[in-house]
Amino acid sequence: MELVTLDDVRAAGARIASVVVRTPLLPCPWVKTGRDRSADDRGLWLKPENLQPIGAFKIRGAHNAIARLDEQARARGVVAYSSGNHAQAVAHAAAAAGITAHIVMPASTPRVKVENTRSHGAEVVLVGDDEREAVAYEIVSERGAVLVPPFDHPDVIAGQGTIGLEIVEDLPEVDVVLVPVSGGGLASGVATAVTALRPNAKVIGVEPELASDAKESLRAGKRVDWPVADRFRTIADGLRSQPSELTFAHLRRRLHDIVTVTEDEIRSAVATLARKARLVAEPSGAVATAAYLFHGDELPVGRTVAVVSGGNIDPALLADVLATPAGEED
């Protein structure tokens, strides 16, 4: 299988530069880890992708995929099915490119997310929970529209990989990069860029314990299927997908390891990011930080970057997490 290359990621970077936010690395002088790493720890930086216009890194892959379409394809528009950040990412990218987007969402999607997607000018098609994929493919065949998948495409992987380019540009001596794993597009892209530019650096995936199918798959050397009902137990609603053949091939080759975090650790990391880093992160966006805060003894020591992948959290949940008394980090 042909994997995405550093050149692909660089080309993506040039394509999306004018529409995505060039997020900085944020040093964390407040950080303490679970074990005493003071002697050889070299610190933590956050890559705040929650600050992208739609509140998540997904905007990078969507923009790159759409920028790659030729004129005929653009005239027919794009389609995506998603109830999450990918929906808004495709809507935003289509609007920026001036093309039509149909987003197929389950009728059960919270109203706010439907409205946010519509606000970018996309046509939202509400369907039954099981019909998303079928309806999306109907639109593809009827209109000749192009389906933009959330992770299973080289252009999407290359787009997400631009985060890795920026990390190495801002911190050339980076040793460890922590990145959430769900469908694996983000982890594949970031690992591609970081390990190509800095072969000694280690990119480590992070999953919720309750949806750690990718960790089990890496251990088994082949993709292991977890039942949907199991994966949907985690509060990290953006991390319930499984890698595809394409992303799994990237993860096997380029990811150093996967560590898992508990639900309590995820909630605690959401609170710490708000209290200490002044960032609003959604649970899925906080898992990499949680791994650093609570699983330092499973990580290589060195200059570490945690990708804060998104910030679309229900305000009531954020309020609840903040109202919980702080642990020793305060």
Q: What residues line the site for its own copies (CB under 8 A)? A: 21-30, 48, 50-51, 53-55, 92, 112, 116, 119-120, 271, 274-275, 277-281, 311-312, 315-316, 318-320, 322-323, 326, 330
CB of 86 to its own copies, least distance (A): 17
d(CA 217, CA 111): 35
Nearest distance, CB of residue 25 and its own copies, angstroms: 8
Q: What are the φ and ψ backbone dihedral angles of 197, each rounded to 5 degrees?
A: -85, -30
Residue among 59 and 211 whose Cβ is closer to its own copies: 59
CB of 20 to its own copies, least distance (A): 10
Cβ proximity to its own copies, 138 vs 329, nearer residue: 329
- Report d(CA 317, CA 313) in Å as an integer: 7
Bridge partners (DSSP) of residue 305 are 45, 177
By beta-carbon proximity to its own copies, the closer residue of 235 and 246 is 235
DSSP secondary structure letters along 90-145: HHHHHHHHT--EEEEEETTS-HHHHHHHHHTT-EEEEE-TT-HHHHHHHHHHHH-P
Residue number with CB closer to its own copies (169 or 225): 169
- Residues 160, 92 contacting (CB under 8 angstroms): no
Amino acid at 224: V
Report in angstroms the alpha-carbon separations of 107 from 38, 87, 124, 240. 50, 14, 10, 19
Task: Identify the CA nearest to 64 among candidates 116, 14, 3.
Answer: 14
CB of 12 to its own copies, least distance (A): 19
User: Which are the contacts of 112, defined by CB distance < 8 A and separation ≥ 6?
Assistant: none
Nearer to its own copies, 298 or 314 (CB): 314
CB of 152 to its own copies, least distance (A): 27
The alpha carbon of 248 is separated from its chain's Cα centroid by a whole number of angstroms, namely 15
Kindly tell me which of 54 and 204 has the beta carbon lying closer to its own copies: 54
